[in-house]
């Protein structure tokens, strides 16, 4: 069962991310609601939290006619059914077909799906294909075979859909960065030595106390070039963003992950400087409140420290938590962002 203080805070915010995790029972009215219900908030002393509608009904309460809390289960079932259809389909599935499968109108299902996942059905399908393509390209000797295996109807469709998003070309993903130039430098900062590396698209690695050998492991066949005039301006902007964290939102990135990981990274970048979030809040913002551990894993797989500010995530209760480059750097970054 969810912590009662966390539940009450979610009710006060009318936080949709908690819909489906519990229901709010109001003992004086005999009604139970979603956490996001728009009705006037009851007094805290009149509220009891239940795991689901069945538990609330067993206690003698009835569902709210305004927020329809029992429909949350139907929404979740609809989203899961659509995801199963998208993942198992050989081709693409239209919004109309998915809506028909779930019994919703296309417009309503689009809202339900995006609220639950953080992406539209079409965007989720594209992200799934791109993730499968990256995985297949990493293991396959045939670029064309990997493209078809990932679910693209043609090689041209793959290149059209992923242009500007994969960063490296398809063959480069299959061959450890072959044919890709990555410029890099190790510079001194007030936080220690910092490695910065970038493709032509954007920064692909920012870390502390690492050197070229780390890039060799990640991109064994890439052409690694130290420094360079074209890299100098970008490097200066990255250093400035580290010395004054929160000032680098404009810096282009070349990072890749699963659809959920990328949603978590977007949620991290949305945290205002000077504020923190818990792993549970990041999972909720990424569209899956129950995936707290996966959110922690996404945090750990962040390849561009500071630019994607994973230092702004703390444990429940405010404990600083871990950080890949040590708590001292994490604490200092947070201190610099204080207003």
Flag whether pLDDT at 103 surpasses 50.
yes
Flag whether pLDDT at 2 surpasses 60.
yes
Instruction: Please state the three-class secondary structure of 58-93 as a single string.
Output: HCCCEECCCCCCCHHHHHHHHHHHHHHHHHHCCCCC
pLDDT in tens, 268-311: 988 888 889 999 899 888 888 888 888 888 888 898 999 999 99
Task: For domain 181-243, say whether CATH 3.40.980.20 is its number.
Answer: no
pLDDT in tens, 178-206: 678 889 999 999 999 999 999 888 898 99
Task: For domain 4-69, say whether CATH 3.40.10.10 is its number.
Answer: yes
Q: How confident is the model at residue 176 (pLDDT cuts 50, 70, 90)?
A: low
Determine the average pLDDT of the residues in 154-174.
50
Angle between helix 121-139 and helix 106-117 axes, rounded to 10 deg: 50
Tell me if residue 33 is catalytic.
Answer: yes
Asked whether the whole model's pTM tops 0.85, one would answer no
Q: What is the pLDDT, as a whole number, of residue 127?
A: 73
- Which of 254-291 are b and which e, b meaning 16 or more Cβ less than 10 Å from the residue's Cβ? bbbbbbbbbbbbebbeebebeebbbbbbbbbbbbbbeb
Task: For domain 259-337, say whether CATH 3.40.50.150 is its number.
Answer: no
Active-site residue (options: 37, 64, 204, 310): 310
Q: How confident is the model at residue 215 (pLDDT cuts 50, 70, 90)?
A: confident
pLDDT in tens, 240-279: 988 887 777 888 888 877 778 888 988 898 888 888 999 9
Q: What is the pLDDT, as a whole number, of residue 55?
A: 92
pLDDT in tens, 109-160: 998 888 767 678 888 887 777 666 655 554 444 445 554 555 555 445 554 5
218: buried, middle or exposed (CB in 10 Å: 19+, 13-18, 0-12)? middle
Tell me if residue 64 is catalytic.
Answer: no
User: CA 97: distance to chain centroid?
Assistant: 27
Higher confidence at residue 272 or residue 72?
Answer: 272
Q: How confident is the model at residue 177 (pLDDT cuts 50, 70, 90)?
A: low
Q: What is the pLDDT, as a whole number, of residue 305?
A: 92
Q: What is the pLDDT, as a whole number, of residue 17?
A: 66
Mean pLDDT of the chain: 81
Q: What is the pLDDT, as a whole number, of residue 130?
A: 65
Distance (Å, whole) CA 252 – CA 189: 21
163: buried, middle or exposed (CB in 10 Å: 19+, 13-18, 0-12)? exposed
pLDDT in tens, 10-29: 899 888 767 778 899 999 99
Determine the average pLDDT of the residues in 67-81.
79
Q: What is the pLDDT, as a whole number, of residue 132?
A: 62
């Amino acid at each position: 069962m969810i912590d009662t203080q966390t539940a009450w805070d979610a009710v006060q915010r009318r936080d949709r991310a908690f819909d489906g995790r519990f229901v709010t029972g109001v003992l004086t009215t005999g009604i139970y609601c979603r956490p996001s219900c728009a009705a006037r908030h009851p007094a805290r002393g009149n509220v009891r939290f239940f795991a689901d509608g069945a538990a609330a009904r067993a206690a003698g309460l009835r569902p709210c006619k305004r927020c329809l809390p029992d429909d949350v289960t139907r929404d979740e079932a609809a989203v899961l059914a659509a995801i199963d259809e998208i993942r198992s389909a050989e081709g693409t599935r239209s919004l109309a077909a998915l809506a028909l499968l779930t019994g919703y109108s296309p417009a309503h299902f689009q809202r339900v799906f995006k609220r639950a996942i953080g992406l539209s059905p079409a965007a989720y399908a594209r992200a799934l294909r791109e993730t499968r393509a990256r995985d297949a390209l990493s293991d396959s000797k045939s670029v064309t075979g990997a493209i078809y295996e990932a679910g693209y109807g043609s090689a041209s469709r793959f290149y059209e859909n992923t242009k500007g998003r994969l960063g490296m070309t398809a063959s480069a993903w299959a061959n450890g960065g072959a044919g890709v130039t990555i410029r890099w430098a190790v510079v001194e900062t007030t936080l220690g030595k910092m490695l910065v590396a970038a493709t032509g698209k954007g920064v692909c690695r920012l870390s502390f106390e690492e050197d070229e050998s780390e890039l060799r492991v990640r991109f064994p066949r890439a052409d690694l070039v130290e420094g360079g005039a074209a890299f100098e301006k970008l490097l200066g902007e990255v250093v400035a963003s580290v010395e004054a964290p929160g000032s680098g939102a404009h810096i282009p990135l070349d990072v890749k992950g699963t659809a959920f990981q990328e949603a978590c990274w977007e949620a991290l970048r949305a945290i205002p400087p000077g504020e923190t979030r818990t792993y549970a809040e990041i999972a909720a913002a990424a569209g899956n409140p129950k995936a707290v551990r996966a959110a922690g894993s996404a945090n750990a797989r962040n390849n561009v420290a500071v630019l994607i500010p994973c230092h702004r995530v703390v444990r429940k209760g405010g404990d600083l938590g871990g950080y890949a480059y040590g708590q001292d750097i994490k604490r200092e970054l947070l201190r610099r962002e204080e207003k």
